[in-house]
A = this chain, B = another copy of it.
């Protein structure tokens, strides 16, 4: 399989590692996913970790590797300094940093930073962003990338103009498992079947201008007074957080159109529903495909002869 591989692409984050071998057209030939995030990899050695996974996929010794994500942070393998916005996304391609002192050609894509009164940073999402924009041939619009730290980017004339980060996913996990709400939610935090009514009511409440901080305890009270179910409580929490995120982003962008939602699976379903409730038109781009496309474009740009 690996005899036709042109590049190895990797999304290397804080808690997870993903690797794909692709051919000259970006088609996936082999794939590996593991929990070898930054902390694990730092202890074992980044080179050893990467070579182990490449070897498991049968990658040749001279296959070049392009990486995005927290591996390029100060606490990562090698720091790939942020590219400041407003930024042409081609700048993240030319800013890729080569790892010195190893035989293989390995490069890490830099993140984006925003200075001024709303300081912000991203690492990994810039590559997803690049893939999504190229996929839709987009020059203007809003790109939403939900997750642990959801990113909303404003694209203007082909340049990333500004962006915001919402702590939605991280706060959901903390509140569901460690706050007083854990008594109401329990094991339903990752329930497969959301309670649509509770979710919608919570999103609507946030869109009406209410504060999420004031809505959270209502979940506990509704369990005590109205026997709200664990699934209902989980959906209400999810609706409050996603609703607050979308209300914030909507107020900031002022835009009613041209939202590109970059998400997969259950996340894509939840955010699609919330965007509908918020009366925002959107297109859905698969998050996995977007990051692979961004990585592949970066690789093709750095090593064009391989294509």
CB atoms of A244 and B178 under 8 A apart = no
Q: Which residues of B contact A171 (CB under 8 A)?
A: 179, 213, 216
Task: State how many copies of this chain the complex holds.
Answer: 2
The reply to whether the CB of A174 lies closer than 8 angstroms to some CB of chain B is yes
Which residues of chain A from 140 to 168 have any CB-CB distance to chain B below 8 Å in the complex? 149, 164-168
Asked if A241 meets B218 with Cβ closer than 8 Å, knowing A170-B180, A179-B174, A180-B170, the reply is no
Q: Which B residue's beta carbon lies closest to that of A115?
A: B225
- Is there contact, CB below 8 Å, between A164 and B214? yes
Mask: chain A, 244-263; 1 = CB below 8 Å from B; 0 = not: 11011101100000000000
Closest to A170 in B: B179
Complex CA–CA separation, A115 to B228 (angstroms):
13
| Closest residue on chain B to residue A210 by CB atoms | B248
Contact B166 A214 (CB under 8 A): yes
List A residues 107-145 near B (Cβ within 8 Å). 113-115, 118-121
A 209-228 to B, binary, CB cutoff 8 A, 1 in contact else 0: 11111101110111011100
A126 → B minimal CB distance (Å): 14
Q: Across the interface, do A247 and B211 meet the contact criterion of CB distance under 8 Å?
A: yes
A214 touches B248 (CB 8 A): yes
Q: Please determine whether B170 and A248 come into contact, CB atoms closer than 8 angstroms.
A: no
Q: Given B74, B114, B214, which contacts A165 in the complex, CB threshold below 8 Å?
A: B214
Chain B residues, Cβ within 8 Å of A209: 251
Contacts of A244 in B (CB 8 A): 211-213
Contacts of A220 in B (CB 8 A): 121
Q: Give which listed residue, B165, B216, B218, contacts A217 with CB less than 8 A.
A: B165
For chain A, give the interface size range: 35 or more
CA–CA, A82 and B114, complex, Å: 50
Question: For residue A241, which residue of chain B has the nearest CB?
Answer: B213
**Which chain B residues border A121 with CB–CB below 8 Å?**
220-221, 224-225
Q: In residues 34-77 of chain A, which contact B (Cβ within 8 Å)?
A: 74
CB nearest neighbor in B for A14:
B180
In angstroms, Cα B217 to Cα A114, docked, is 12
B213 touches A149 (CB 8 A): no
Contact B180 A149 (CB under 8 A): yes
B174 with A222: CB separation less than 8 A: no
Q: Is the CB of B114 within 8 A of A221?
A: yes
The answer to whether residues A221 and B119 also contact, given A174-B179, A211-B244, A214-B165 and a CB cut-off of 8 A, is: yes
